[in-house]
A = this chain, B = another copy of it.
């Protein structure tokens, strides 16, 4: 083989999940997730991550070699410039596209977090004379060299969202340090929405928000193996369970899963502790993570945006309405939507800024792209549904189509435009239903709004991060307003 590599095979990944981890699903503890029917589908989906580098067509793109000999997953490459970010965006797009628009995310989010810890640890070390950076570096190397699957548990369960961590009904609504020992710390609490937590090798934990000085016990970042004692993951059952490829061409094969992740007094050794009480850095850590992660988010939206366009055009053709002006309007809207997000994503990489030696995607373009995507998704789903027609939920099942009693009539009557054929048309309709009007479609809608931070958070970040100096000066100059003006 032309390269020495550190990449794992799918089989190695699957084997690594048999480690005694504690995963609950529908009220029961799963003994071996690699042999559970629900989990098998998820694992088959995640296995793509390890199959892609074996394809010669992709391997140069999806790996990198720091020393010219060993090749690692490119996800681990610390971004040094726009080019690195653009390539990162490309591999996120590629994996998601090959997985029929369902993001894989066992490398993306973990490295988003590693880059963030890299930056913040340097800043903490500089300001507070701590020694976090070396820990982070060792941990980064460890994950990279073992090609690990990583999950990030950031969002606390929060209780009353109008109150801070210290003001809640009980102390544990945000993950916190309950004991400090000579060899490490003990943490307690629960995190929500841990993507692929039950299928990761490593669980990384960071604060979810800026903290006040009094919230010292909540200022904690660390990483633990998924099978660590006291880590319990309750996998969510939602998002679709159909196994019919005909009715659910995406979700029958690809499935994203989140867990509520409990930390029941979990011990973390010092070498895996990346923040302990430095409240003033909780906000920057949370924010920098989000900046990387929103860039990941907008990168993995490209395939679903293309699919909305492609499905919209296909249905308009099959229904014979591609020439109607309202159909052309809707398709133009879908194109505008998709290409706006994709174009702004590229601008986020091109306009990156350097922080502590790393390229951070431009938060203005990242957040605009995220906001634009999230706030318009439902309306564009509606356009595709409109082009597709009511049959999306009133049509027959595959069995009806295959039945000798009803099949011939259905083929006669559901043909659409000449040359299309009922089966092709129903397949495309089923794609639209699966993507937009099903348990999986509902999952998608919630994901677009809530994943990687809310729309409100994007707006706020944009307001705060935008450098309006030129704009304000232009207004003042033209208005002829004096400079002595205080803000």
Contacts and interface: CB of A to CB of B under 8 A. Distances in A.
Interface in A437-460: 437-439, 441-443, 445-447, 449-451, 454-456, 459-460
Nearest to A320: B160
Nearest to A375: B382
B471 A307 contact: yes
Interface in A362-387: 364-365, 368, 371-372, 375, 377-379, 381-382, 385-386
Interface stretch (A9-17, A107-115, A214-222, A325-333): A325-333
Contacts of A328: 459-460, 463
A396 interface: yes
A26 interface: yes
A466 interface: yes
A321 B162 CA distance: 6
A311 interface: yes
B470 A417 contact: no
B332 A406 contact: no
A475 B395 contact: no
Given A234-B400, A347-B347, A474-B97, A443 B393 contact: yes
Nearest to A424: B481
A17 B484 CA distance: 42
Interface residues on A, range: 35 or more
A427 B402 CA distance: 39
Contacts of A346: 347, 350
Contacts of A285: none
Nearest to A468: B313
A129 to B, nearest CB: 36
Nearest to A242: B439
A34 B269 CA distance: 63
A415 interface: yes
Interface string A256-290: 00111010100000000000000000000000000
Contact of A24 (B100, B405, B420): B405
A480 B245 contact: yes
Given A239-B393, A445-B437, A487-B317, A406 B24 contact: yes
14 contacts: A236-B395, A260-B414, A307-B475, A311-B479, A314-B475, A335-B466, A343-B368, A350-B350, A378-B382, A382-B449, A390-B450, A430-B479, A433-B446, A437-B439
